[in-house]
Structure 1
Amino acid sequence: MSQEMEPDLPPMLRRMWGREPVPRRGPRPRLDLATITAAAIEIADADGLAGVSMAGVASRVGVAATALYRYVGSKEDLLTSMADSVAPAPPEPEGMHWRDYLALWTKAQRDLVLEHSWLLSITRFAPPLGPRRLLWLDRALAVLAGTGLEDGEKINVASALAGYVLTDAALTHAAATGFPELGESGIEGAADYGEVLAGVLDPETYPALSAAVRSGALRGAAGWVDDDDFRFGLDLLLDGIEQLIARRALEGDVGGQ
């Protein structure tokens, strides 16, 4: 793409993608976006996202807070950079069946979110914009080549799996931390949740749910933190993708006759 045709990217995206012009004169900048972002990630990992402030990050890298604004226009820009920078390189799909790869792809992202739980607060409704996260999307699309799915369908597949990552990671994280948002409810896992529901559900109004709860369905859920539960949901999604691929293949066969 020529310089004349490049879109007018926001300053943060230009920095993330290395599109900023390099000054030919003057002293070399003391800081860069990568250093600032790494400091912010360290703070978030230690103290949560609430501990991340421009002043705190500036202190960690040894400059005044005002100096950060040369590289980061706002805290929101910093969060965008953090969400991208914390992502490792995705696994490569060469030689893997699409289903095996997407299972690995999804679990790796879920493990990343659980390791850096502050991601739950900033990626739930944000599409990928940075080079690292978009590389994950690229690899998911690449492994679906030859399946007969249209490009839009491939993107929807990746989006559905990414949404499952965030939903499962949020529930798993909440269970591991004792559901602090529920105050003194005493709910610390699926079994506790089931006991509360059993006490409030009216079998006449909620016949199916009440029967499931009273049968002990939630008592075997391992507190929502067992990988078997994650894999069950993932297999449901992969089964659906497999059926979609099979349907597209059948439509292709019919259309070719």
Structure 2
Amino acid sequence: MPETPLPAVIARMWGREELPRRGPRPSLDLPRIVEAAIRIADRDGLDGVTMASVAAEVGVATMSLYRYAGSKDDLLIVMADAAAPEPPPLDGRAWRPYLTDWTTANRNYLLSRPWLLSLGQHSPPAGPRSLRWLDRALAALDDTGLDPGEKINIVTTLTGYAAQQATLAHALTTTTASTGDDPMAGMAGYSAVLTEVLDPNGYPALTAAVQANGFGRNDQWIDDADFTFGLTLLLDGVEALISRQ
């Protein structure tokens, strides 16, 4: 059976790209380019990352980068993988404490580099780091009796939850810290705006929640207690699924 041809960016991430055997040794490589791009993103945000800015960071002509990254989109794919830390070690832990730690670590590293949130996830993980995160979470579910498809769906759901919570926390932190006159800055401001616009006849349940200060809670929506509440619900669902096996 013939081997599946790898997309160029995947081959580069895994060191599977064929290099010329003759000629001078290249003065540049993909890891060096990606490190420079991540430095720029950490410093200036994702808007600061262009092929020209990365080339300037490593001291080469812009066109030189295209030998290693075929496009900016390719570069962003490699950056997202390289910027991820190693996943938490499994260390023989049971699935629930491990996935609690795993999901929390996932959220935290996204918050540590908010530019990753701007990238979104438009394709399944395919790089060495991101696939290690997937592998470790699946390994934690080894003895649960779930089938492979169920395990992957669980990990996908937890990944999405971590990203959504990181996005919410970052947005609230940014608006709360701003000095502008944004009336929706923070959850208290958001709750106040909802109080003004909601019609109890059209939105009875939401109106009741707002009036009961469901969003306000001293503006602490981004605290770990809120994150843990949602994660507990998800993991309770996983536990119920396992118990039905």
**Aligned alpha-carbon RMSD (Å):** 1.6
The AA in structure 2 aligned to 1:13 is I
Residues 162 and 49 of structure 1: CA distance in aligned 2, closer, same or farther (over 3 Å): same
The answer as to 2:10 corresponding to 1:13 is: yes
Match of 2:55 in 1: 58
Does residue 172 of the first structure (1) align with residue 208 of the second (2)? no
Contact 1:12 1:77 in 2 (8 A): yes
Identity of aligned residues (%): 55
- One-letter code aligned to 1:86: A
| 1:112 is aligned to 2:109 | yes
The alignment of Structure 1 onto Structure 2 pairs a total of residues equal to 243
Q: Hey, what does 1:39 align to over in structure 2?
A: 36
Q: Is the 8 A contact 1:12 1:72 kept in 2?
A: yes
Deviation at 1:13, TM superposition (A): 0.8
Q: Helix, strand or coil: the match of 2:217?
A: coil
Q: How does 1:230-241 map to 2 (within 5 A)?
A: 230-241=227-238
Distance 2:119 2:72 in 1: 12
Q: Which position in structure 2 is the counterpart of 1:48?
A: 45
Deviations 1:127-171 (A, max 9, x none): 211111011001111110010100000000000000001111111
1:175 touches 1:223 (CA, 8 Å); kept in 2?
no
Structure 2 unaligned residues grouped into runs of 5+: none
Measured at CA, do residues 49 and 102 of structure 1 come closer, stay the same or move farther in structure 2, by a change above 3 Å?
A: same
- TM-score if structure 2 supplies the norm length? 0.95
Inter-partner Cα distance in structure 1 for 2:118 and 2:218: 25
User: Could you tell me how far 1:221 is from its partner in structure 2?
Assistant: 6.0
The answer (yes or no) to whether the contact 2:110–2:163 under 8 Å persists in 1 is yes
Residue 78 (structure 1) aligns with? 75
Return the match for 2:131 from 131, 134, 140: 134
Q: SS state of the match for residue 18, structure 2?
A: coil
2:167 and 2:214 map into 1 onto residues whose CA distance is 21
Amino acid at match of 1:112: Y
Question: Gaps (5+ residues) in structure 1?
Answer: 249-257
Q: CA deviation at 1:121?
A: 1.8
Distance of 1:195 and 1:185 partners within structure 2: 12
TM superposition shift of 1:224: 2.6
Q: Note if contact 2:176-2:185 (Cα within 8 Å) is conserved in structure 1.
A: yes
Corresponding residue for residue 92 of structure 2: 95
